[in-house]
Amino acid sequence: MSLADLPLHDMQRAASLDALCGIVAERHARGEATVLLAGGTDWVVEQELKPPRGDADPRPLVVDVSCMAELRGITATRGLLRIGAAATYLEIRRHPTVIERAPMLAAMARELGAIQIQARGTLGGNLATASPAADGVAALAAYDASIVVKSVRGERRIPFSALQTGYKQSTRAPDEVIVAVEIALPPEGSPWLWRKVGTRRAQAISKVALAGIAVRSEDRVVRLGLGMASVAPITATLLQTRALVLSRPLSAITADALDAAVLSDIAPIDDVRSTREYRKHAAKAVVRGFLRDLGAPV
Amino acid sequence: MTDTRKPSELRGLVGSRTRTLLAPRVTGQVRYTDDIHLPRMLWGRIVRSPHPHARIVRIDATRALAKPGVIAVITGKDMPERFGIIPWTPDEYPLALERARFIGDAVAAVAATDERIAHEAAELVDVEYEVLPAATDLQTAIDKPEVGLGKGGKDNVSKEVDLAFGDVDAALAESDVVITGDYYYEGSAHVPIETHCAIANLDKNGLLTVWSTTQVPHYLHRELSRVLRVSPTRIRVIQPPVGGAFGGKSEPFSLEFCAAKLAMITGRPVKFLYTREEEFYAHRGRHPMQIHMKVGAKRDGKLTSVDARTFIDGGAYSSFGLVTTYYSGQLLTLPAFADTYRFRSTRLFTNKPPCGPKRGHGSVQPRFAFEVSLDKISRALGIDPIELRRKNLVPPNTTTLNGLRVTSNGIEQCLDAVEKASGWKERFGKLPKGRGLGVATSAYISGTNYAIYPNAMPQSAVQLKVDRSGVVTVFSGQSEIGQGCDLMLAVLVADELGLDLGSVRVVSGDTDLTPVDLGAYSSRGTFMNGNACLMAAREIKSKLVAAVAEKLDVDPRSVLVTRGALVVVHDPSRGVPVTEAIQLAEAKFGTLGAVGHYNTPKLGGDYRGGTIGASPAYSFTAHVAEVSVDARSGIVRVEKIWVAHDCGKALCPVIVEGQMEGSAYMGAAEALLEEHVIGPDGLHKGPNLLDYRIPTSLDVPDLHALIVESEDQEGPLGAKESGEGPLHPSIPAIANAIFDAASVRIDRLPFSPARVLAALRKKQADEQAAAVESSLGGFAPRRGAAPPNPPAAE
Ligand SMILES: Cc1cc2nc3c(=O)[nH]c(=O)nc-3n(C[C@H](O)[C@H](O)[C@H](O)COP(=O)(O)OP(=O)(O)OC[C@H]3O[C@@H](n4cnc5c(N)ncnc54)[C@H](O)[C@@H]3O)c2cc1C
C-alpha cells in the first residue's frame, strides 16, 4: 500500500493513562471513535482494506500510545508476569525474565512477523485487533492470562476464558484501554511448545499455530494450557482436548481420542493461506506432537 | 576448452572480484525514478476497473474535478491509439477505450497537486459499467469462446503455434517406454522491490522528457511517439537505475502514457508511482501453463520423441504472447533431446492481469514438464537420471532438430560439476527416507536475433569518449536494472585498454545521450553490448598502440597493453603509461572516440517461426537439489541447490555467481511458495507481500554456484548469458528430489504442504489397497467376503 492511501487523521498523545481514559470516554459518549495507535502494524494496514471514505466522513482521532509509560514495561513479582500492552515483541523476546520463565512467549515473539514488525507490534494491538490468526493471543490463551483494562469507571481484570465472545468480539467495553496482560507463571522448567505452521519461515501469517504449556506429575498432566490460532472464528482454547488430557494418565491417551477431541474443538476454513482440510490435519499433528513430547503414546 | 575451476581460481579480468560500481546501490546512494522531484510537479493516479470484464458506458469526472487540488482527468478518448510491445499484436490502450478486460484495468487517470489528493480524487471519478461475461481461468476460456476476448471477438484465442519435426507418431510407436503426464505450472509475479514509476515533463522548447523504470527505453521511445502522435525528435526517454525488473518492465505501461499526456495537458511535470497492489495488476508475470506431454525412449535410454500439447493462460492482453507461445516449445530442444518433436501451444486470453515475460520467458514451464518426464523415464528404465541426460546431449557446434545453431556447449561439464559437488554417486537414492536428490538441466538464449520490429540496424551500439586525463566514458543505450550490466562494460573497456576500473564511466539508458540498445530482455546484454563495446574499445586500442609504437620506435605488433601501461613485448621495461598513451594518440590522431555495434548473424530454422528461439549462443545449466519432505506436515524444504552454469566466460565471476544464486532462489520460490492466483470472480487473492509469498532470507536454500566456462567463439571474450538460464532447472530438480525423498510425484506447482500431504496420503492409501489386493492372492474378493477397508477418511 502507499501511505498516500491513508487519509489524514488528527493525532495526539495523552499526558497520562487517566487522561487517555478521559479522552476515550468523552469521545465515546459523543459517538466518536478513537484509535489507540501502538505499533500501527495492524491499524495502518487495515485502512487500505476499508472502503473509500468521502471527505465529509468523520475520521477517528488517533492517540499515540506507543510511548505511554503506564502501558509499557515488563515486570515479574511473586510468580506474576506483567507485560505492558504497549511493550513490543522485541522487548518481550529479549527480556531475561520472559526468556527464563515464559520461554513459550519469547518463542512466539521471535516468530511473529519479522524483526521490523517485532520492533513495533504489541500484545495490546494483537488483542484489540482480535484476529483469529493472532499469534500473541494464542500464547496468552495457553497461559490463561488476564487482561488488565482500564476506563473512567476504573480498572478490572478479564480472565482469558471470559474475553472472547465471537469473531473479533470481546467483553472489553469500547472505552476500555488495554493496560497490560498478566500471566501466572508456571513452575520453572514446565514443558512448553510454540509451533507455528506458516508458509515461510518469517513474515507468515499462521496457517495454524499452537501454544502449549503443561505441568506434569509422573504419568499425568495436572495443568494444561492450549491456544490455537487460525482454526476457528476466535482463538481456540481447545477445551475438549484439555479435558481429555487432564482426565487420564498420559499412557492412556490414544491418538484417535486426541484427534477426535481436537476436531471437536476447531472449525477451520479455506482461505488464501491454507485449506480447511490441511488446517485440520495440521491442528491434529501439532497437538499430537506436543503430547508425544509429554510422553503420550500418540 | 572448458574450465570448471572455482570462480576464485579463475584468472579474473580487471575488477572482476569487485562490485565497485554497485556500491551506490547498497549504500542507498542510487537515485531511482521515484527519488526525482521536479518543481511544480503533479501526482497522477489511475482509476481502475472493479470488474473483470465490462463495457465502459460513461465516465463522469465532475466530482473529481471539483475537488480542490485536482488539475486534470483523462480517459481512453484522450489517447485512442492501441499499443503493444509486439508490432503485430497491439491490443492495449493506455486507458481502456470501450472495454475493461480485468480487475485493475486502467480506465481513467487524474493529476492533482499531491499524491494523497490524486488517490482520493481517483475514487471520485464515476464510471458506469455494463458488466460482461468473463473467463477467469483457462478452462472457461476454452469452453466459452463467446466471451470473445480474441481478435474479432469470436473466441478467446491469442496465438496458436503448431510445429512438428520428424515423424512423432512412428517414433512413439517404436519406443520401449512412453511417459505421459499432465503438468500445471502456476503463474507468478516478478515482485521487484521498486514498483513502476514514471515522470513526464514538457519543457518550453516542446521537448517531452519521460523518466521511467522501464527496461526497454528504446521501445518506450517509439511507442510514446506513436500513441501520443508526437515526433520522436521531441521525446527523450531517460531510464534511471531500476530497482529490479525481472522482465516485468520490458514493455510500455499505462503510467508512462498517462504521465506524458497529463504533462502535455497541464504544462506541469507529472509523476505516477504504482502501489504494491497496482504492481500486481500491471503484472506481465509468468504465464500459467497446462501441459500435456509425452516423452518416448528406447530401452537403452535414447530419447525417441517428445509430443506436447500446451494451453497458456495469457491474461487480458497480448504483451509478448506471440513470442511466449513459440518459446513454450522452441527452447526445449537443448541440452538433451529426442530425435522427433511436435508441439502445439495455444495462448488464450482470460480476464486477469496480463501475463508476459518473466526471467526465463515461456520456457521455464515446459522445462518443468520435460525434466520431470525424463526423471520418470529414468525410473522406468532403471537408468541414473544424470546418465540418461548424458546419453541424449546435443553436442557443441551443431544444429538442433528445430534448427537452432549451437556453438559452445559446456553441459557435460555442468553435469560433471553438480554430480561431483552433490556427492550424487554416493548419495542419490540412498538418503534416509524423507530426504532426496533430484537433477535437471536446461539451456537458454544469449539474446535473440528476433528484433521486435523488423529492421537491419544494429541491435546494440556504444560510443566511447576518451578524455586526455585518462578517463574513458562508455555511452550505451543498455538498461541497468540491478543486474550489473554497466559494470560489465566497464570491465571490458578497462581490460582492453589497460585502465583501472575507476577510470571508466558508463552512461546508459538515455535516448538523447546514448546510441540505441534494444533493452534488458532475452539475456542479450552482455553478449550484444559486450561485443559492441569491444569493437569500439579495440579501435581505440589500435590507436594507442600505434602512437606508442611511434614514440618508442618499435613495430606496433610488439606493443602489448598491460594493466596501467603499454609495453614492448620483448622488453617490458620499455613502456608508456596508459594516460600518456592516450595523450600521444590524441596528438597523433586528433580527438579520440569510437563507436561499436553488434548484430546477430543470420540464424534460425527455415520455417515460419524458425527464427524465434534462435540465438547467437546458448548457455547451459545443471542443477542438483537436495530436499527434505516432512511426511507429517507435507512441508518440503530445499536444503541445498548446486547450480553449474556454462556462461561461456565469467567476465565478472561475482556477478555471474549472483545471477546463478538469484535464479535458483527465484526458481525455488516458484516451486514452493509463489502463486499469482485470481479467484473465479476475477479478484486477485492477495495483492500484497504478506499474502503473495516471496521467500524471506530465512527461506533461502543453501546455494552453491559452480561456474563453467566454455569460451564461446562469438561471445565477448567468450561470454554468454547468465541471468535467466540458471533458473530453469530449479523447479524440476526440486520436483525430482521430492520423488527421491518421498516417492510422490507433484506435477502441479507450487509444491505446497497441502498438495504434498494429499499426494503422500494417496500413495499410502494406494499401497494399502494394493496390500489388501495381494493378500487376496490377486483375485477379486469372493462373494460374501468383506470389501477391503477404505482408506481412513479424515
Ligand atoms: C508484515 C506483517 C506481518 C505480521 N505478522 C504477524 C504474525 O506473524 N502474527 C500475528 O499475530 N500478527 C502479525 N501481524 C499483525 C500485527 O503485527 C500484530 O497483530 C500486532 O500485535 C499488532 O500490534 P500493534 O501494536 O502494531 O497494533 P496497532 O496497529 O497499533 O493497533 C491495532 C488495534 O489495536 C488497538 N489498540 C492498540 N493498543 C491498544 C490498547 N492498549 N488498548 C486498546 N486498544 C489498543 C488500536 O486502536 C487498533 O485498533 C503482522 C502484521 C504485518 C504488517
pLDDT of residue B793: 35
Residue A249: pLDDT band (50, 70, 90) is very high
CA–CA gap between residue B662 and residue A47 (Å, rounded): 34
Using CB atoms, which residue from B277, B677, B696 is nearest to A114? B696
CA–CA gap between residue A150 and residue A21 (Å, rounded): 7
Distance of CA B251 to the CA centre of its chain: 13
Q: Which atom of ligand 1 is nearest to the CA of A127?
A: 34
CA–CA gap between residue B281 and residue A26 (Å, rounded): 44
Q: Find the CATH number of the domain harbouring A89.
A: 3.30.465.10
* Interchain contact, A285 vs B699, CB within 8 Å: no
**Based on the domain organization, do A199 and A288 belong to the same domain?**
yes
Amino acid type, B333: T
Q: pLDDT tens-digit profile of B142-153? A: 999 999 999 999
Q: Which atom of ligand 1 is nearest to the CA of A135?
A: 11
Q: Which residues on chain B are in Cβ contact (under 8 Å) with A1?
A: 275-277, 688
Cis peptide before B726 (omega within 30 of 0): no
Instruction: Find out whether the beta carbon of A68 lies less than 6 Å from any atom of ligand 1.
Output: no
**Based on the domain organization, do A287 and A206 belong to the same domain?**
yes
Average pLDDT over residues A125-134: 96
**Based on the domain organization, do A125 and A82 belong to the same domain?**
yes
Instruction: Find out whether the beta carbon of A126 lies less than 6 Å from any atom of ligand 1.
Output: yes
Using CB atoms, which residue from A201, A205, A277 is nearest to B698? A201
* Interchain contact, B118 vs A4, CB within 8 Å: yes
Calculate how far, in angstroms, residue B615's C-alpha sits from the geometric centre of ligand 1. 53
Question: How large a percentage of chain B has pLDDT more than 70?
Answer: 95
The candidate with the shortest Cα–Cα distance to B647, out of B700, B745, B698, B717, is B717
Distance of CA A56 to the CA centre of its chain: 35
Calculate how far, in angstroms, residue A117's C-alpha sits from the geometric centre of ligand 1. 9
Instruction: Find out whether the beta carbon of A203 lies less than 6 Å from any atom of ligand 1.
Output: yes
Instruction: Find out whether the beta carbon of A115 lies less than 6 Å from any atom of ligand 1.
Output: no
Question: How many A-B residue pairs are in contact by the CB < 8 A criterion?
Answer: 75
Are B135 and B311 in contact by the 8 Å Cβ rule? The answer is no
**Based on the domain organization, do A208 and A266 belong to the same domain?**
yes
Of the three residues A184, A206, A239, the one that is the final residue of a domain is A184
- Grid cell locating B200: 513526464
Of the three residues A160, A184, A208, the one that is the final residue of a domain is A184
Directed axis angle between helix B364-381 and helix B321-330, to 10°? 20
Instruction: Find out whether the beta carbon of A84 lies less than 6 Å from any atom of ligand 1.
Output: no
CA–CA gap between residue B667 and residue B304 (Å, rounded): 29
Are B614 and B636 in contact by the 8 Å Cβ rule? The answer is no
**B671: DSSP letter:** H
Of the three residues A49, A64, A79, the one that is the final residue of a domain is A64
CA–CA gap between residue B702 and residue A202 (Å, rounded): 17
Read off φ and ψ for residue A152, nearest 5 degrees. -65, -20
**Based on the domain organization, do A34 and A58 belong to the same domain?**
yes
The candidate with the shortest Cα–Cα distance to B747, out of B303, B442, B373, B324, is B373
Q: Find the CATH number of the domain harbouring A236.
A: 3.30.390.50
Using CB atoms, which residue from A4, A201, A280 is nearest to B116? A4
Domain count, chain A: 3
Three-class secondary structure of residue B161 per DSSP: strand
Read off φ and ψ for residue B736, nearest 5 degrees. -70, -35
**Based on the domain organization, do A56 and A159 belong to the same domain?**
no
* Interchain contact, A201 vs B123, CB within 8 Å: no
Which residue, by CA, sits nearest to atom 21 of ligand 1?
Answer: A126
Contacting B with CB below 8 Å, chain A residues are 1-2, 4-5, 7-8, 48, 52, 55, 114, 197, 199-205, 207, 272-275, 277-278, 280-282, 285, 289
- Pairing verdict, β A61-64 and A11-12: parallel
Instruction: Find out whether the beta carbon of A178 lies less than 6 Å from any atom of ligand 1.
Output: yes
Average pLDDT over residues A236-249: 98
CA–CA gap between residue A166 and residue B625 (Å, rounded): 46
- Per-10-residue mean pLDDT of chain B, 794 residues long, equals 41 56 81 97 98 98 98 98 96 97 98 95 97 97 97 96 98 98 98 97 97 98 98 98 96 98 98 97 98 98 98 98 97 97 98 98 98 98 98 97 97 98 98 98 93 93 98 97 92 94 95 97 96 98 98 97 94 95 98 97 93 96 98 95 97 92 97 95 93 91 97 97 98 98 98 96 92 63 40 36
Q: Which residues on chain B are in Cβ contact (under 8 Å) with A203?
A: 689-690, 696
Residues near B225 by Cβ (< 8 Å), separated by ≥ 6?
B231, B232, B235
Calculate how far, in angstroms, residue B753's C-alpha sits from the geometric centre of ligand 1. 27
**Based on the domain organization, do A167 and A60 belong to the same domain?**
no
Q: pLDDT tens-digit profile of B552-603? A: 999 999 999 999 999 999 999 999 999 999 999 999 999 999 999 999 999 9
Instruction: Find out whether the beta carbon of A124 lies less than 6 Å from any atom of ligand 1.
Output: yes
Q: Which residues on chain B are in Cβ contact (under 8 Å) with A273?
A: 691
pLDDT of residue B217: 98
Question: What is the DSSP secondary-structure string of B60-116?
Answer: E-HHHHHSTTEEEEEEGGGS---B-SSTT---B-SS-SSEE-STT-EEEEEEESSHH
CA–CA gap between residue B759 and residue B629 (Å, rounded): 12
**DSSP element (H, E) containing B597:** strand B593-598
**Based on the domain organization, do A145 and A199 belong to the same domain?**
no
* Interchain contact, B633 vs A205, CB within 8 Å: no
**Based on the domain organization, do A178 and A265 belong to the same domain?**
no
- A4 CA to chain B: closest CA distance, Å? 5
Residue A77 has pLDDT above 80, yes or no: yes
CA–CA gap between residue B522 and residue A47 (Å, rounded): 40
pLDDT of residue B2: 44
Q: pLDDT tens-digit profile of B658-710? A: 999 999 999 999 999 999 999 999 999 989 998 899 999 889 999 999 999 99
CA–CA gap between residue B760 and residue B772 (Å, rounded): 18
User: Which of A3, A197, A199 has the most B C-beta neighbours within 10 Å, making it the best mutation to test the interface with B?
Assistant: A199
A163: containing domain: 69-184
**B9: DSSP letter:** G
SS3 content of chain A, % helix, strand, coil (to 5): 35, 25, 40
Are B246 and B317 in contact by the 8 Å Cβ rule? The answer is no
Using CB atoms, which residue from B120, B273, B633 is nearest to A197? B633
- A33 CA to chain B: closest CA distance, Å? 22
Calculate how far, in angstroms, residue A39's C-alpha sits from the geometric centre of ligand 1. 7
Max CA distance (Å), chain B:
109
Dihedral sign for Cα B417, B422, B428, B430, please.
positive
* Interchain contact, A202 vs B115, CB within 8 Å: no
Q: Which residue of B has its CA nearest to A199?
A: B673
Question: How large a percentage of chain A has pLDDT more than 70?
Answer: 95
Which residue, by CA, sits nearest to atom 46 of ligand 1?
Answer: A36
Burial category of A188 from C-beta neighbours within 10 Å (exposed 0-12, middle 13-18, buried 19 and up): exposed
* Interchain contact, A114 vs B277, CB within 8 Å: no
CA–CA gap between residue B276 and residue B684 (Å, rounded): 13
Q: Which residues on chain B are in Cβ contact (under 8 Å) with A4?
A: 43, 114-116, 118-119
CA–CA gap between residue B290 and residue B738 (Å, rounded): 21
The single residue listed with the C-alpha cell 511448545 is: A193
CA distances to B223, B237, B374, B480, B592 from B508, rounded to whole Å, are 20, 11, 43, 7, 20
Q: Which residue of A has its CA nearest to B123?
A: A52
User: Which of A53, A196, A278 has the most B C-beta neighbours within 10 Å, making it the best mutation to test the interface with B?
Assistant: A278
- A20 CA to chain B: closest CA distance, Å? 30
Three-class secondary structure of residue A261 per DSSP: helix
Q: Which residues on chain B are in Cβ contact (under 8 Å) with A277?
A: 754, 794
- Grid cell locating B583: 595523450
- What's the alpha-carbon Rg for chain B, to the nearest Å? 28
Calculate how far, in angstroms, residue A199's C-alpha sits from the geometric centre of ligand 1. 20
pTM: 0.93
Are A90 and A105 in contact by the 8 Å Cβ rule? The answer is no
pLDDT of residue B7: 37
Q: How many CB atoms lie within 10 A of CB B29?
A: 8
CA distances to B132, B222, B224, B267 from B204, rounded to whole Å, are 45, 22, 19, 9
Cis peptide before A96 (omega within 30 of 0): no
- B757 CA to chain A: closest CA distance, Å? 8
Q: How many CB atoms lie within 10 A of CB B705?
A: 23
Domains and CATH numbers, chain B: 41-132+213-231+240-245+249-266 (3.90.1170.50), 289-450+605-742 (3.30.365.10), 458-598 (3.30.365.10)
Are B327 and B613 in contact by the 8 Å Cβ rule? The answer is yes
Instruction: Find out whether the beta carbon of A235 lies less than 6 Å from any atom of ligand 1.
Output: no
pLDDT of residue B15: 53
pLDDT of residue B125: 98
SS3 content of chain B, % helix, strand, coil (to 5): 30, 25, 45
CA distances to B355, B370, B373 from B308, rounded to whole Å, are 21, 9, 11
CA–CA gap between residue B680 and residue A17 (Å, rounded): 49
